[in-house]
Amino acid sequence: MVLSVIILVLCLAEFAAIHSLMASLRFKRLAMRIFGQRVEKLYMPIFSFVAVLTISPLAYLFYKNPGEIIYIVPSPWRWVMVVGQLIAGIITLRAFTDAPQRFKMRAQLSAPNTPEAGSLNIRGIYRWVRDPFTFSTLIIMVLTPFMTTNLLAIYIVTVVYLYLGSLHWETRLVAQFGDEYREYQKHVHRIIPKLRGYQ
């Protein structure tokens, strides 16, 4: 059992390292320098493909060896939890559409208050939480209707990675939006949504 947990954690660490490298501004600048402006349109599909490719061994190993069952939530609560997970998934999709300017490569590499960086333009889910991706992923994990020893190990490491990744994401947004984002940070929590939306 211990060996399977170690292997799963190593697979997750490999995914996290590659994912973090490709998400970094330094790597994106290098890609822009080597391949030019055309890389911007290809970067997100390639980034997503590499993410799927590097997480696949982890998914396969977990499928083959899920570990000992800790608990299984009975019906009807199991389905209530699944519905909660689906809502969290919708929040993730909404986060992309509510702030497309945050994901454009050229905008991320631009200085604050420039036309390329764009405006912060707080709307949708971002009025309640600064990092809806971490929030929704945590909800999906908490509402998992079953738990095994190996899945618990994966979740523990994932929480640490999400927290560190969220801090890194904030640094990138400050670099892109400057004081506008710093002011936003004063009013909206990074991971825990506020009951009252940002005005």
Closest by Cα among 134, 143, 141, 142 to 193:
134
| DSSP per position, 145-169 | SEEEHHHHHHHHHHHHHHHHHHHHH
- Sign of the C-alpha dihedral computed for residues 154, 157, 163 and 167 taken in this order: negative
Residue among 62, 59, 125, 54 nearest 96 (CA): 125
Render pLDDT for 73-82 as a digit per residue (tens, 0 to 9). 999 999 999 9
Q: What is the mean pLDDT of the chain?
A: 89
Domain boundaries, the chain: 2-185
At 36-94, the pLDDT tens digits run 888 888 888 888 899 999 999 989 999 999 999 999 999 999 999 999 999 999 999 99
Predicted confidence at residue 66, as pLDDT, reads: 92
B/e letters for 103-117, b = 16+ CB within 10 Å, e = fewer, are ebbebbbbeeeeeeb
Amino acid making up residue 63: Y
Which residues pair with residue 71 across a beta bridge?
147
Say what the pLDDT of residue 102 is. Answer: 77
Q: What confidence score (pLDDT) does residue 199 get?
A: 62
pLDDT tens series, the chain, 199 aa: 677 788 888 889 999 999 889 888 889 889 888 888 888 888 888 888 999 999 999 899 999 999 999 999 999 999 999 999 999 999 999 998 898 877 788 888 888 888 887 788 888 999 999 999 999 999 999 999 999 999 999 999 999 999 999 998 898 899 888 999 999 999 999 999 987 777 6
**Model pLDDT, residue 44:** 85
- Burial state string for 38-70 with b = 16 or more CB within 10 A and e = fewer than 16: ebbeebeeebeeeeeebbebbeebbeebebeee
pTM: 0.86
What was the pLDDT predicted at 2?
76
| Structure confidence at residue 138 (pLDDT) | 96
